[in-house]
Structure 1
Amino acid sequence: MRISLQWLNDYIDIKDLTPEHLATELTQLGLEVEGIERIEPLKGEVVVGRILKAEQHPNADKLRVCQVSVGSGDPLKIVCGAPNARDGLRVVVARIGAVLPGDFKIKESKIRGESSFGMLCSEQELGLSESHDGIIELPESAPLGTAISQYYAMNDTVIEIGLTPNRSDCLGIIGVARDLAARLKRPLKVPAPVAKRSQESLHSASHVTVQLTTNGDSQRFCALYVRGVRAVPSPQWLQRRVQHAGMRPINLIVDATNYVMLESGQPIHAYDERDLQGKVIQVRRAKEGEELTTLDGQKRQLTATDIVIADASKAVGLAGVMGGENSEVKADTANIIIEVAHFNPVLVRKTAKRYGMHTEASHRFERGIDVQNIPWVARRVAEVIYQGAEELRGLGVDVPLPEIAGQAVDVHPQAFKPAIVALRLPRLKQITALSAINRDTVVGILESLGFQLTDHKDERLLFSVPSWRHDIEREIDLIEEVARVHGFDKIPFKLPKMEISHLPEHPLIDFLDQNKITLADCGLSEVITFPFMHAGDLENMGIKENHPLAAAVRLVNPLVETQGLLRTTMIPGLLASVLENRRHGRQGVKIFEAARTFHEPQKFNGTASAAWAHVQEQGVHIPAKARNDERPIERNRVAVILDQPYTEKSWNQPEQKVDFFHGKQILMQWTSAYGVQSLRFEPIQADDFPWLHPGAAAAIWTPKGKFFGYVGQLHPRTAKAYGLDFQHTPVVFEADLEVLLEEWQVKRSYASGSAKFPPVARDLALVVPESVTYDAFMKSFAGFKRRKYLREQHLFDVYQGTNIPAGKKSMAFSLVFQADDRTLTDKDVEKEVEALLTQLKEDLSADIR
C-alpha cells in the first residue's frame, strides 16, 4: 500500500520526522516498509507569472508574443499558442533550464522568427491532468515568482508498505496513522462531519429504499442521497493524492469515493439516481445466467453464488468487486446515491477469483471492513465532494454546491457485538520478558489502538476489541499488540543454555539417498512427481472401493481437480511421466521414484489380504507422538517403470521388448547391493493386484514371510486406460523401502565385525520333480528347524538331460556354514547337511544326485 506523507500528516503531526525515521517506526510496528519514493515532478524554475502584454505574432495567426513578469528581473518574452493567453492573466511559467514531466527540457528557441525564453504551461504539460485546451489560469491571489511545486504542493514522499493479510485495518491511511500515533504517543486527528453541509429537510429515504434479501450476504448497507453534483475535474490536491496512492483521477465524484476508500479502507460506490429503477437498491444473489456489464466494459455471465446490487429490474453492480456500466457516474450526472456496505468476504473472494477481477474493492472486502464505520464513510464522501465543489467555485469554475441529505438509509439487521478478550499481566511479562512493564502502560497502549478496558480484577484485564480489528481473537494477540507498540527492540534477549551433542538421524534418511544412487547405477533415471492422484487413477488401475489402496486421504481444498487425493501408490505418477516422455518423442524410458505413499487410517472396511496388511501400519521416521493420533499413515516406497522397448533397434541388434524378467533382473540387482537375495516370488492374486497382468507378475516376500512388493507387466486393461499400447505393456515394480532397510540392517549386523572363525562351504546337487520351483526350495530352507550353522544358500545350476530321469531335474546349491565361537569340523557340517537332506526329502522329494 502506498502512503503519502503529506496525506498522512493530516491525521498525525509528522512534519518533524524524516521518511527514513518513519519507515523504521512503521517496520517496528509490523507494517514493513518496502520502499521510499520521493516525488518531485518539476525541476528548475517553474513559477507563477503574469502576462503583461499579449500581442499577435507577426508571422503566425494562432500564436501570440507575450511579455511575462515573474516578480523579479526583466519581463520574459515568450511565444505562446494558447487561445486564452491575454493581458493581465496569472499563469505558470517554465523558465529556461526547467525540466517538466516526461523529461521535457525548456530551452531558448525561435518560433516563426521570434525568440522565446520559456513556456507558458497547461495542466497536461505539468502532469496535473489531461487538459491541454489552454494554459493554466491562476487566481489573482497567486504570488508572483512562487514555485509552482510549492503553490500546488506537488512535491511529496510516498512510503510503500507491505501489509500482511490480517491487517485489513491498515488498508486505509487512518489505520496506519492510528498505529503510528500509538507508537509515537501523538494525538490522532480523524476528520469530523461538518453539520452545516447537510440538509435535515432532505431525506435519503425519499429517493431510495434498501432491501437485503439474503441473510448473511450483507451485515450492513448504507445509502446516502446527494443532490446537485457535477462530474467535473477534481481540485489539484485531490487529484494528486489519488495519483500518489497509485490510482487514476477521473472526476470529482469518482475521485472522492477513491479518496475516502484510501483514507478509511472502506470501498465505496456512487450510482446515478436516474439509473436506479423503482428507487430501490437490493442486495441479492444473482440469477443463474444473469448478465451484467461491469465498469471495465466486460459482459459477465453470473452464477447463483455471486452477490449483486440490483434495482427493481436489473443488476447494477457486482457486490464487493465492481460496479455496473449501466449505473455509472456520467458527464451529465446531477444526483447520486452513495453506497457504503459490508459484503460476505468469502463470496466476494470466490466471485473475484472466478472472473479474474482482483480490484481495490475486492482486496479490502476479502480481508474485512469496519462495519461500525460505514455511516461515517458515507457522510465523509459527500463532504469531500462538497469541499471539492466549494474550492472549484473559488477558482471560478461553474459548479453548484451539492445538497447532502441529513439522514442516510442505514440497514443494519444485527447490531455489532464487540469481542471481549482477557489479558493477564503475569502472562504478558512471562512471554515478552518485559518485567518492568506496568498496568497503566499496557492499558494506555491498547486504548490508543482503540481497545476499551471493560473490566479488571487484580492483574487480569478485560478489553473489548474495536470493530476494525478482525485479527484479535485471543490473549496472545493482545500481548503482541502491546509488544509491537512498546517496541520489540525493548524485549531483552538471552541465549538459551543448551548442551551441544550429536543428534543422530534416522538411518532411513541416509538409506534413502543410498538407494537412489544404487537405482541410478542399475540404469534408471529418477523422477519426482506430485504426491497426488485422483479417483480416476483408482478406476484406471482397477482398484475397487473395498481394496486397501482405495483408502486414500482426501484433500479438502485441492489446487486442481486431478489432485484431490494423496497417493496410495506411485504407479499413476510414473505412468504420467512415461506419457509425458512419449509426447516428447522419448521411448523406452527407465525411471524410478523413491518417496512416500499415504493411507487413511481406519478407513478401509474390507478384508485386507496379507499383501496389503502393512498399509495400516505407520512407517518409520515418524515421531512417536504422530503414531498416537489419526494422521495419515505414511510408507516409504520405491517404484520403477520400464517403458517399451527395452532396447531399440540398431545396426547390430533387433529391437528387444521389455518383459517380466527385465523387471525382476533390475529388482534383484538393486536388492543384492544390500545383501538381500533370498526373496520369494509367488504368483499374484488378481484381486490384490488388478493393474498387473496375472500371467506375467509376481508378489515378492522376504525369507521371513514379510510382504516386500510386486513386479510384473501392466495389465492390458490398465495400459489402455492410460492410452498405452495394450499389446506391449510397460513393466513396473513397487517395493517397500522400509522392509529392505530392515533386511539390510539384519545382514549388516552379521557383518558388523570381522569373522573370527572361517566359513565352511558345501555344494549339493539334488534331483527333484520337474514341478519343484526355486521358491519351494527357499521355503524349505527357511523352515529348516535344525539350522544351527547354515548361514547362506545360493542356487548355481539347474540341469535336465542325460543321466536325469524323465520328469526330473537337477538343482545345485552352494551352502555356507559358519560358527561364531569356534572353527567347524567336518563332523559338525556333515551332521547338519544330513538333517537338511532329510527335510528336503520330506518337503520336496529331493535325492542326492
Structure 2
Amino acid sequence: MKFTFSWLKDHLNTSANVNEIVDCLNKIGLEVSNLKTYKTDVKNLKVAKIIDVKKHPNADKLNVCIIQFDEEQTQVVCGAPNVKLNKKYVFAPSGTYIGGIDLTLKKAIIRDIESNGMLCSEKELEISDDHNGIIELPESINLNENVSNYLGIDDSIIEIEITPNRGDCLGVRGIARDLSAFGIGELKPLKLNNLNDEFNSSINWEIKLPDDKKSLCPSIFGRSFRNVKNIKSPQWMVNRLLAVGLRPISSIVDVTNYVMMDIGRPLHAYDVNKIDGNTLTVRISEKGDQFNALNGKTYELDDSMLVISDKKGVDDLAGIMGGSRTGVDENTTEFFLEAAIFCPISIAKTGRYLNINSDARYRFERGLDFNSPEVGVIYASKLINDICGGSCSNIVSIAQKKSNKDIIFDFKIIKKLTGVDIDESKVEVILTKLGFEVKKNNKNWNVVVPSWRNDVERSEDLVEEIIRIFGYEKIPTNVLPVKSYITKPSLGLKQRLSLYSRKCLSTRGFNEVITFSFLDKLNAKRFGGGEENLNLVNPISSDLSHLRPSIIPNLINVCNENIKRGITNLSLFEVGPIYKGDNCEDQYNVVTGIRCGNKINKNWKNSELKFDFYDVKSDILAVLNVLEFPVSRLKIYSEAPNYFHPGRSALFKLGNITIASFGQINPFCTNQKDKKIEFFGFEIYLDKLPSPKRKVLSKPLLKLNHLQSLSRDFSFLIDNELNVEDLINEIKLIDKILIQEISVFDVYQGNNIPKDKKSVSLSIVIQPADKSLTDDDLEKLSSKIIDRVFKTFAAEIRSH
C-alpha cells in the first residue's frame, strides 16, 4: 500500500515529520517497506516558456530553444518531439542534480551549439517511466510558480506491508485512523457532501441469485450522472495517482481509483449509453460466457463466477475487473457508478481461476466495510461534480441489513494475556479512537466492533488491538526465575514418532519427498480407495481428484519422473496422512518408503546387487527399533494388501493390529510399460503403534556373565507351510535362561529334500548362568530341543 505524506495529512492533523510517521507505523504493526523521497534538486526546477525554437543546424532530431524563466532567458538544446513555441515546460538549470538519470547538469556544447540545463521528462524527474516527451505544463501556470509543488515531487512516498487481516488499511484513511489512535495526530472528519438528486437513475439493480447464494452479493449501490465532461484530471489528483503507481486515464476513471486509494472503496463506472437496457443484473455466470476485460483480454467463464451483466452479456467480473464494452471513454457524457459488497471467497476463487490480479480484487479478498458502498458513492459524487460537472440521480441500492458485532469484554483479560497493567481510561480511549463503541456496565464491557474491522471477532482480538496501540515497546521486561528442572519435551508423541522415523530413514540412505495428499481416481482405486466420499468437490486438477488411500503411488510417480531422466537407483520416503474413509478414525499417519534399482552398482570388485524384499523388511525393523517398539513381539503374515506382489510381500502384526506392510509392489500398479523395474516398498502405521510405557528413571545395570557362551547348530526338515518363527519360539520355551539367541543361517530346498519339505538351519546361542556346562548337560539340552521339535511339528533332525 503506497501513499504520500501530504495525502496522509489530508486525513490526519499532525505536526510530525515523515520520519516520525514512519517510526510510528512500524510500532503499530504497519511495517514500512520503503520510504521514497525524490533525489532530484526539486528546489532548482523552474517553469520555462519557449519563446523561440529552431532546428539544430548539425542534427536532424534536435531543436535549439530559447526559453524564459523567472526574469531570465537562456538557450537549451532539446531532442523531445513535443517541443512547441510558446508552450511551458519544466526546466532544470545547470548545477541541478537529476535523480532519474543520476546526473548533475553542466553547461555543455552539443554538436557545436551551447546548451544550458535541460527540459525534463517524467522519467528524469522520477515521476513515472514515461520518457517519450518532456513534461508540458498548462497555459495557466505562472513562470514564478513552484513547479515541484505543482507536480507533487516535493513530497515523500511511504509504502507499507499490509497483512491479510487488515483490509481496512488499504486506504489512506484507515492508516490515518491507526496513527490517530497511537497519539501522533487527530483524525479529521470525512467530508461527505451528498449532492441533490436531480433525476431518477437511468439504471437499476437486479440481484438474480439463488437463496443459498444471496451472500455472494449482500449489498450493491449505484448512481447515474449526466452532462459530465470526461476531461483530464486536475494535476493534484494526477500527481497522487502517479506517486502510488496508478496511471491516470480520464477524470471519471481517476476518481474511482482515487477513492479506492483514499478511503479503500473500489468503484466501477459504466457508460450508460453502452448498456443494453436499463437494468444491471448480478448473477452467476453460465458456462461458456465470454468476458472482454478492460485489460484487453477475453476470458471464458465457467458456471460459478459472480458477474454483473446487461441484456447483451457480461459487463463486469464482480469485484475484479470491468468490461471493455461498457467502459467509459473520453466521449462519455452519461455514466453509472457502482459500489458493492461481494463475497471474498468467491472473488478469490474467480481471480485465481482466471489468473487476474487487480487492486479491486486485492481489497475485496480481504473484506470491505459493509457500510462503505453508500459512503463511497457519496464521496465520489462530490469529486465527480467538482471535476466533471453535470448532475446526478438518486442512489439506487439493494442491501441486506447487517448489525455490527458485539463482544462481551472482561477488562481483566488484558493483564491475563499480556502481563501488562493498562489504565482503564487509556484502554477506552484506544478502542474509541480505533472506531469501537464501548458500553460499560458493572462487570464487563460491551464493545461494538466497527463495520470496517471484519477481523475482530473475540476478546483476544481486542487485546491485540489494545496492546498494539499501547505500544509493544512499553511492555516491561521481567527476568524469569531460574529453576533446576529438566525441560519437558516440546514435541508431542506423534511429532516425535514422525521426527525419529525421518532421521532413521535418512541415515539409511533415503531421501525425503513431500507430495500432494491427492491422487487420480484410477490410482486411488488400485491402492484401496476411490470411494465417492473421498472425492474432492473442487480438485486442483483432474489427476488430483481423490484423497490418497496410500502414499506408495505418490512415491512411484516421483520415481517414474526420475527414471525418465536416467536416475534409476532410488530410495525415497514420505511421512504423511492417508485416508481410508471420511471419519477422523479413518485417517492415519504413515511412514512410507520405496526402493528401486541397485543397492550396489557393478564394479571391478562386486557384481550388481539389486534392492529386494529383505531390504525393506530391514528398513521397517530399523525404524521400529528407533521408535523403541518391541520388535520381538511382532509376528509376520503373508497377507499384505493387493497392491503388493502376492508372493513377495508380508505384514507385521502385533496381536490383531497391523503395524506394517511391505514387499515388492505389484507390477500392474507401478505405471511402468515394460514392467522391468521392480519397486519394493513399505508402510508403517504410526497411529497403530502402542503408546510407550513409562520408563523407569534409571536404566538397570548391565549384566555381564563371567562364563563363556557357546553355540550349537541344528538343521531340521520341516513342512513348507510351517513358519520358521513358530519353530524358533517353540525352542525358546525349552529353557529361557540357557537359550539366549536363535538365528537362521540357512534355508534349503532342492536335491535330497522332499518337495513338501524345506531344510532350516538354526544357530542357537547357549549362555551358562552360574556354572560351566558339561558335555552331558549340552547333550541333554540338545536332546530336549530335537524331541520338542519332533513332537510339536513332526520335524526331523537332518543328517548331513
**Both structures adopt the same fold (TM-score exceeding 0.5):** yes
Letter in 2 for 1:342: I
**Residue 479 of structure 1 aligns with which residue?**
463
> Deviation digits for residues 395-420 of structure 1, max 9, x if unmatched?
xxxxxxx12325222322x2231111
Q: Is the 8 A contact 1:224 1:379 kept in 2?
A: no
Q: How many residues align?
A: 779
Aligned residue among 773, 784, 787 for 1:835: 784
- The structure-2 alpha-carbon separation of the partners of 1:306 and 1:95, relative to structure 1 and needing over 3 Å to count, comes to same
**Residue 816 of structure 1 aligns with which residue?**
765
Letter in 2 for 1:3: F
**Residue 96 of structure 2 aligns with which residue?**
98
> Deviation digits for residues 672-691 of structure 1, max 9, x if unmatched?
99999989996724xx4212
Q: CA separation in 2, counterparts of 1:315 and 1:344?
A: 18
Identity across matched positions, percent: 25
Counterparts of residues 73-472 of structure 1 (less than 5 Å):
75-77=73-75, 85-86=85-86, 92-100=90-98, 102-103=100-101, 106-108=105-107, 115-119=114-118, 132=133, 135-139=136-140, 142=142, 144=144, 146-184=145-183, 186-194=185-193, 198-200=195-197, 202-205=198-201, 207-214=202-209, 215-389=214-388, 402-405=389-392, 407-412=394-399, 414-438=400-424, 440-453=425-438, 455-472=439-456
Q: CA separation in 2, counterparts of 1:472 and 1:800?
A: 75
Q: CA separation in 2, counterparts of 1:369 and 1:669?
A: 55
Q: CA separation in 2, counterparts of 1:57 and 1:809?
A: 108
**Shift in Å, 1:91:** 5.8
Gaps of 5+ in 1: 390-401, 604-628
**Shift in Å, 1:820:** 5.1
**Shift in Å, 1:284:** 1.5
- The structure-2 alpha-carbon separation of the partners of 1:765 and 1:420, relative to structure 1 and needing over 3 Å to count, comes to closer
Q: CA separation in 1, counterparts of 2:746 and 2:113?
A: 113
Alignment pair present for 1:715 and 2:641: no
State the SS of the aligned residue for 1:723.
coil
**Residue 692 of structure 1 aligns with which residue?**
644
**Shift in Å, 1:152:** 3.7
Q: Is the 8 A contact 1:552 1:566 kept in 2?
A: no
**Shift in Å, 1:96:** 2.2
Gaps of 5+ in 2: none
Farther-moved stretch of structure 1 (101-110 vs 494-503): 101-110
Counterparts of residues 721-740 of structure 1 (less than 5 Å):
722-726=671-675, 729-734=678-683
Q: CA separation in 1, counterparts of 2:239 and 2:665?
A: 69
- The structure-2 alpha-carbon separation of the partners of 1:592 and 1:775, relative to structure 1 and needing over 3 Å to count, comes to farther
**Residue 397 of structure 1 aligns with which residue?**
none
Q: CA separation in 1, counterparts of 2:691 and 2:377?
A: 71
Question: What is the RMSD of the two structures over their aligned residues, measured on CA atoms?
Answer: 4.5
Q: Is the 8 A contact 1:217 1:343 kept in 2?
A: yes
Q: CA separation in 2, counterparts of 1:820 and 1:138?
A: 114
State the SS of the aligned residue for 1:485.
helix
Letter in 1 for 2:702: G
- The structure-2 alpha-carbon separation of the partners of 1:557 and 1:474, relative to structure 1 and needing over 3 Å to count, comes to farther
State the SS of the aligned residue for 2:741.
strand
Farther-moved stretch of structure 1 (645-654 vs 288-297): 645-654
Q: Is the 8 A contact 2:637 2:651 kept in 1?
A: yes
* TM-score, normalised by the number of residues in structure 2: 0.83
- The structure-2 alpha-carbon separation of the partners of 1:310 and 1:577, relative to structure 1 and needing over 3 Å to count, comes to closer
Q: CA separation in 1, counterparts of 2:204 and 2:315?
A: 15
Q: Is the 8 A contact 1:54 1:65 kept in 2?
A: yes
**Shift in Å, 1:376:** 2.2
**Shift in Å, 1:39:** 2.6
State the SS of the aligned residue for 2:371.
helix
Letter in 2 for 1:403: G
**Residue 614 of structure 1 aligns with which residue?**
none
**Shift in Å, 1:591:** 1.6
Q: CA separation in 2, counterparts of 1:633 and 1:666?
A: 20
Aligned residue among 582, 593, 612 for 2:573: 593
Q: Is the 8 A contact 1:66 1:77 kept in 2?
A: yes
Alignment pair present for 1:634 and 2:618: no
Q: Is the 8 A contact 2:718 2:796 kept in 1?
A: no
- The structure-2 alpha-carbon separation of the partners of 1:274 and 1:474, relative to structure 1 and needing over 3 Å to count, comes to same
> Deviation digits for residues 622-655 of structure 1, max 9, x if unmatched?
xxxxxxx9694435x4634233x77778899997
Q: Is the 8 A contact 2:193 2:379 kept in 1?
A: no
Farther-moved stretch of structure 1 (804-813 vs 286-295): 804-813
Q: CA separation in 2, counterparts of 1:809 and 1:113?
A: 108
Q: CA separation in 1, counterparts of 2:786 and 2:244?
A: 92
**Residue 739 of structure 2 aligns with which residue?**
790
Aligned residue among 564, 575, 580 for 2:561: 580
**Residue 704 of structure 2 aligns with which residue?**
755
Q: Is the 8 A contact 2:148 2:154 kept in 1?
A: yes
Counterparts of residues 506-525 of structure 1 (less than 5 Å):
512=501, 515-516=504-505, 519-520=508-509, 525=510
Q: CA separation in 1, counterparts of 2:63 and 2:370?
A: 58
Q: Is the 8 A contact 1:518 1:670 kept in 2?
A: no
- The structure-2 alpha-carbon separation of the partners of 1:515 and 1:661, relative to structure 1 and needing over 3 Å to count, comes to closer
State the SS of the aligned residue for 2:560.
helix
**Shift in Å, 1:97:** 3.0
Q: CA separation in 1, counterparts of 2:409 and 2:667?
A: 67
Letter in 2 for 1:582: I
Q: CA separation in 1, counterparts of 2:372 and 2:755?
A: 100
> Deviation digits for residues 17-50 of structure 1, max 9, x if unmatched?
2322212211221211122111345557222356
**Residue 611 of structure 1 aligns with which residue?**
none
Q: Is the 8 A contact 2:371 2:451 kept in 1?
A: yes
